[in-house]
Amino acid sequence: MEEFRSLRESAVGYMQEIRQLLSREGETYQEYVCVLQQMEQKLSSDAFDVLIVGEFSSGKTTLINGILGKAMLPTHISPTTAVINIIRYSAQESARLIFRSAQEQMVPVDALADYITSLSETADARAREIDHVILGFPSPFCRNGVRLVDTPGLNSMHEDHERATMEYLPRGSAGIMAISALQFMSKSQREYLECFRSYMGKMFFLITMVDQMDEDDDFEENEDYFRETLAEVLQRPPDEIKLYPVNAKAAEAGACEGSGLAAFLRDFEAFLTADRLAQEMLSIPVQRVSDYVRQYIAQKQLEMNAVSVPYAEFERRVQEALPQRYAIEQEQILVRGRMSAGVLSCKSRILHHMEYAYRELVQDAAEFVQAYAGDIKQDLSGDLQRFLKKRTVAFSQTVDTYVQREYAALMSELQMASLQLNTMVQDYQKGLGIENVTELNLSDRVIITNDEATLGGIGVAGVVAAVLASVLGPIGVVAAVAASFFGLDSVRQHIIKIGRRNVLQDISAHVRRDLLAHEGSFRRRLADDLDSADAKLLQQLEDSYQEPLRAIERTLTRIRCEQQEAEQDAAWRRSALAADLSCAKQLAERLVHVTRGVAADGGR
Ligand SMILES: Nc1nc2c(ncn2[C@@H]2O[C@H](COP(=O)(O)OP(=O)(O)OP(=O)(O)O)[C@@H](O)[C@H]2O)c(=O)[nH]1
Ligand SMILES: [Mg+2]
């Protein structure tokens, strides 16, 4: 633990140093300066904030009430929690409102709904004035500096809720993501999760509302799918992902053991006492500081380059490299053309295959009826529905597999094309003499290193992300649409109406007709989905192809500006830049030791 403390002190020291360097640059790094400040505060204090995050109405507050063993905080089916609620240990229950104006006010705990929620207009208006609430509660969970933080829900129509939560993220040491089993991992949830991960070392996944799932489509049926989906977003092997299914409502009502919450509480306790905790706390901030230092170095290197090359020489290089630029643009036009044709034929193959698989499904259903051996009036409609539900899953999987395969083929073609383009872009940069310094958008998460030009990587990374995002679109819909088609009410009516003679042939023909009648609209839905996935893919392709050239353009403009300024006081600027650069490089080197220390020590 001593070693952890000294590592932590060094990390905070580095944060302060880099923050001072960045502050000198004015607005450019303002956002980073704020994040660094929050991380310093987090690491310097002994508080350990566990953030409960997730989309609105996913059961976050209900979970907290479950953990506390009392319905202390207000919950509701509509967006509720409007401010950050920090719960810390205290022998007495208490609630202190901290206003944006920094004023404070104690309120009775049972009046909280009137201050911190969006449940009424008055409460909502009051909540807008409040920055956060500090609640005292005698919960064993909050001993030893652990604070439970309930956050306003994401993705509701209240933008201020989302802002409050996002601003608080850098202070979280660990996170609990509440995901409703009824709305598992929508696209927005994936994006939020990626964002949470970049701030919090440790995340727990609590799947709420499991008590609301269908009896024959319950948590166990879906567990593998949930796990694999999360594993994919987190880029970890599925068996490393632990899910905690809970009935938060039952836990809130006091039935902790039967609710599933107890399993989470046991693991959380073990996590808090494990050595790894310290490591989790340090690794993300240290990684972030290293990123910032690298970006700063790249920026300074750029300025240094600008003041080192004579203006005429620089313009000559730009002119000489023009043919390379045209070649890149020509190649991009060719690739765009090939990709547009590729997505079209990919779509028609998928639809063709879907039709084939659908007909097979219809045939199977018809045969199922034909060979039916039970009591027609009593059982057939129920049995048929169950059969179709199961068979639909197989159908969805077939279509999914096909979609995946087609897009994977597209992706590998794209990768080849991107690699070729990246090489051309790198050569172009070399021609310009700016290969290691091209200025990238600072908000871009792609890391810039000073010994390796990673600009080339952006094209491929962008394209791969685009393809993956597009592939994921249609798949969920295939299953959802298929499930909604097979209510078979008309068949049920038919079974009730029909006489005994030739009855199975008749019903079988009816089933066939009924299902085939749905094929058109099913095909349309899938086609629409593929269209929008394709449009997105092509748009993202366009964006990721344009970005490198735009980045180069920005660099050139910047170099020109720097050169004009530099002409005036060249000697002084050079020495100031050299000093900034050497300071940042030393910081980067020392940081490597902390990073190694964190990895090796594990905080013991
Ligand atoms: N049956 C059941 N209901 C739940 C469960 N979890 C939450 N609920 C209910 O779902 C609704 C929303 O729960 P909240 O705890 O307010 O959700 P939240 O995520 O805090 O919502 P916001 O504060 O708006 O972000 C409430 O009516 C809860 O009673 C659960 O596991 N099972
Ligand atoms: Mg809430």
Q: Parse the chain into domains and list their residue ranges.
A: 1-45+292-307+569-604, 49-274, 309-567
Looking up tokens 């063993």 gives 69
What are the two backbone dihedrals, phi and then psi, of residue 585, each rounded to the nearest 5 degrees?
Answer: -65, -40
Region 319-326 average pLDDT: 91
Share of the chain above pLDDT 90, in %: 25
The ligand whose atoms approach the alpha carbon of 118 most closely is 1
Position in ligand 1 atom list of the atom nearest CA 246: 31
Beta carbons within 8 Å of 344's beta carbon, 6+ residues apart = 534
Contacts of 561-567 with CB under 8 Å at 24 or more apart are: 562/302, 562/303, 562/306, 562/307, 563/306, 563/307, 563/309, 563/311, 563/314, 566/306, 566/307, 567/311
What is the rounded distance in angstroms from the CA atom of residue 53 to the CA atom of residue 154?
8
C-beta 65 within 6 A of ligand 1: no
The ligand whose atoms approach the alpha carbon of 208 most closely is 1
| Angle of helix 503-568 versus helix 311-320 axis, rounded to 10 | 150
Region 332-361 average pLDDT: 89
pLDDT in tens, 248-260: 999 999 888 888 9
C-beta 450 within 6 A of ligand 1: no
| Assigned CATH topology for domain 49-274 | Rossmann fold (3.40.50)
Residue whose CA is at the smallest distance from ligand 1 atom 23: 81
> Ligand 2: distance of its center to the CA of 132 in Å?
14
| Maximum pairwise Cα distance, the chain | 103
pLDDT in tens, 185-200: 777 888 888 888 878 8
The answer to whether the CB of 525 falls within 8 A of the CB of 414 is no
The ligand whose atoms approach the alpha carbon of 152 most closely is 1
Reply yes or no on whether the pLDDT at 261 is more than 60: yes
State residue 461's pLDDT score.
43
Ligand 2 is an ion; residues with CB less than 5 A from it? 60-61, 80-81
CA 581 to the chain's CA centroid: 34
* Confidence category of residue 601, pLDDT binned at 50, 70, 90: low
pLDDT in tens, 484-517: 455 566 666 777 666 555 678 888 888 888 888 8
- Which helix (DSSP H) or strand (DSSP E) does residue 306 occupy? helix 276-308
> Ligand 1: distance of its center to the CA of 59 in Å?
3
C-beta 158 within 6 A of ligand 1: no
Q: Flag the least confident range among 48-62, 72-86, 418-432, 541-555.
A: 541-555
Q: 368: closest CA among 497, 467, 501, 511?
A: 511
What are the two backbone dihedrals, phi and then psi, of residue 470, each rounded to the nearest 5 degrees?
Answer: -70, -35
Ligand 1: residue of 219, 249, 259, 264 to mutate (most ligand atoms within 8 A of CB) is: 249
* Confidence category of residue 118, pLDDT binned at 50, 70, 90: very high
C-beta 212 within 6 A of ligand 1: yes
> Ligand 1: distance of its center to the CA of 371 in Å?
46
Question: What percent of the chain is helix, strand and coil (3-state, nearest 5)?
Answer: 70, 10, 20
